[in-house]
Amino acid sequence: MRLRTTALIPLTIAAFSVATPAHAGFFGAEAIDGGAGIASVGDLDLARDGNGAVAYVKDDGGTDHVFVSRLVSGVFQPPERVDGGLPGAGSAPVVAVTDGGRVVVAYVNGGTVYTSVRPAGVPTFSIPQAIATGASAPSVDMSINGVAYVSYTAAGASAADVRVARLERNTSTFNVLPDTLDINPAADAGTAGATSDIAVSADGTAVVVWGEGGRVWGRRIFENRISVAPQDLTVDTLAGHAGNTGSATDPHIDIEDDSSFAWVTFRQSFDDNVSHTIARRLVGSEFEAPVQVDGIGFGGDGAASSSVQMNGRGEGLATTGTTAKNSFVSVLHDDTFFPAAQINPANNVAPHPTGDLAENNDGYVAWMQGATPLTATVQGVFYDVALDKRTVPAPGPASELSNPDFGPVDVSGGLDLAVDRVGDAVAVFVQGVGSGRKLVYGGFDRTPGILSTSTTQRFRNIARPQLAWSAAFDLWGPVTYTAEIDGVVVGQSQATRLPLLAPLADGVHTWKVTATDRRGQTNVSRPGLLKVDTTAPSLSFSVAGVRQPGRAQTVKVTTADPPAGTVAGSGVRRVAVSFGDGATSSKRTATHAYGKGGTFTVRVSSTDNAGNVTVVRKAITLKSGKRSAKKKQ
């Protein structure tokens, strides 16, 4: 996720979930890395498939350096230093991640912007690539297909310029575009609070926004070509109030999968001399009319920080932190922002609120809250953006994301948030003092998804059937499955099959499976049936008739399932009679006349619905000549 904060890189949280399953919810902070050398959070990003990474600054051998911890299956991995071999101090790291675990990091070391790439499936990051000397303030983003861009501020011939480098998919080397983006080569661009921000769409094109001369500009990048039609986003008048010259700053951008559509937020003051958060939508090559999204009136409280985040379809959230330390959120739906609403109680620390929206349209916003910096916490709320859009969706109750056991939240240590496509959310920040300092993460973890039993519910003659079920969807697995039969646990597995070790008694058994994630959140399947019948049917038969060729022989079959004296059975499925001369019947009373004399073996079988078979044989002899008396065998 591109950095959405002020110069302090404040902490933020976003997490979204579909209709919240039972037991799903926020979780308090857990440690990623620790020690007195933990300096600050740089940036956090999650791909849609749940892979992610946090880039941060940590003292290593007496000098600050850039480290990355990757998020795999919901767990942050051991930290990796990415500026290895560089002697200067590392700072300003930003990171982007895409599906499969491809990670791109950009950072500053010794006044040079570097990049490091870790392709999906590769065990290490690439050797740092120098992008530009005398450079600062990188911003990075990557498309869902692996194309990445870095924008940054670089020393020009007479003033600071904004420049861009592009990374092709499946490569690890950036190519610096030859042209600068800024409008006036003699004016500083991308400096102070007006550094650049970049967003990349699904087709690999990008849009960059930056501040220059107190105005905010936007420009498209088509592969390696810079658009010749930059757009000035600065507002001349808003709701009858004239804009102050040279006051536009703090630009942020996010883009839809469709590169035709993006939203930009920035801050600008007007004739009330109060900064406001302005949003403008990019449609094609032009920006639409400005919208105020800060929730504050003219002449009162002012905007101190702002950000915007969207999912691939353009649903999103804009957040504003004010000079009075309040947090406002405006929900974006159907290309329209709802009126902003305040989400925090009275506050005495800069809140730096930020939000994010998952592909399932669920969202979270987080901010810093406290009576003093030494008692600050990180709070998060859930937004059900699927509510009736005729009214402003209200946030759920606030939950604390910091961990009181880790000590105070460092309000200057940075904060960032990201979500995956199903609404798992991570916020990263710093807690503790001295040797107890920790880089931590809290957020929202969805419960395992719906699962169902799939072992057949037909009767079978297997006393130890293999249990099988569908996988419970969870991007942050693994999931542990617990199987119960008739209320008794019979085993656990992280696979979706479980062979039984002990035989089951004949009869109908009820079973279910409980999916449990690493946080103890559960989802339970609907009950299934196990039907066991290992006992063959009872069977007898008689043959009656005059034992001469041409005379009728009648077979009468008696069979039952369950057999007498047992209580469970699947029922008789079929009876088969073989008269021994090729003639057959499936009737329980079958008549047949033999064409010649001799001895024949009558074979009768009974098969139940579980596949158990009982076979009984009898021999009969037919004599030619004078009729004999009727016999019954």
**171-225 pLDDT, tens digit each:** 999 999 999 999 998 999 999 899 999 999 999 999 999 999 999 999 999 999 9
Give the pLDDT confidence score for residue 97 in this predicted structure: 98
Q: What share of the chain has pLDDT > 70, as a percent?
A: 94
190 closest CA partner among 109, 136, 265, 110: 136
Given a cut of 70, is residue 372 above it in pLDDT?
yes
Residue 44's pLDDT band, with cuts at 50, 70 and 90, is very high
Partnered with residue 162 across adjacent β-strands are 153
Amino acid symbol at 39: A
Residue 126 has pLDDT above 80, yes or no: yes
- pLDDT, residue 396, reads 85
Q: Is 45 in contact with 403 (CB distance < 8 Å)?
A: no
pLDDT digits (tens, 9 = 90+) for 406-419: 999 999 999 899 99
Could you tell me the two tokens for 536? Answer: 């063959």
Predicted local distance difference test score (pLDDT) of residue 392: 66
CA 373 to CA 402: how far, in whole Å?
14
Which whole number is the average pLDDT over 44-48? 97
Tokens 């892979």 -> residue: 51
The token pair at 419 is 């979500």
**Average pLDDT of the segment spanning 471-488:** 96
Under a CB-based contact definition with an 8 Å cutoff, are residues 194 and 247 in contact?
no
Q: Is 632's pLDDT higher than 60?
A: no
Residue that the structure tokens 């937020």 belong to: 265
HEC readout, 188-249: CECCHHHCCEEEECCCCCEEEEEEECCEEEEEEEECCEECCCCEECCCCEECCEEECCCCCE
Beta bridge partners of 619: 601
Tokens of 48: 């849609």
Kindly tell me if the per-residue pLDDT of 515 is higher than 70: yes
Higher pLDDT, 20 or 268: 268
Segment 106-111 long-range contacts (CB within 8 Å, at least 24 positions apart): 106/131, 106/138, 106/139, 106/140, 106/150, 106/152, 107/42, 107/55, 107/66, 107/82, 107/83, 107/138, 108/135, 108/136, 108/137, 108/138, 109/65, 109/66, 109/83, 110/86, 111/135, 111/136
Structure tokens at 412: 């200057």
Domains, the chain, with CATH or none: 99-410 (2.130.10), 459-532 (2.60.40.10), 538-632 (2.60.40.10)
Q: What's the pLDDT at 436? A: 96
Per-residue confidence band for 386, with pLDDT thresholds at 50, 70 and 90: low
**CA distance linking residue 521 with residue 22, whole number of Å:** 8
Output the CA torsion sign for 134, 139, 145, 146.
Answer: positive
Tell me what the mean pLDDT of segment 310-316 comes to. 95
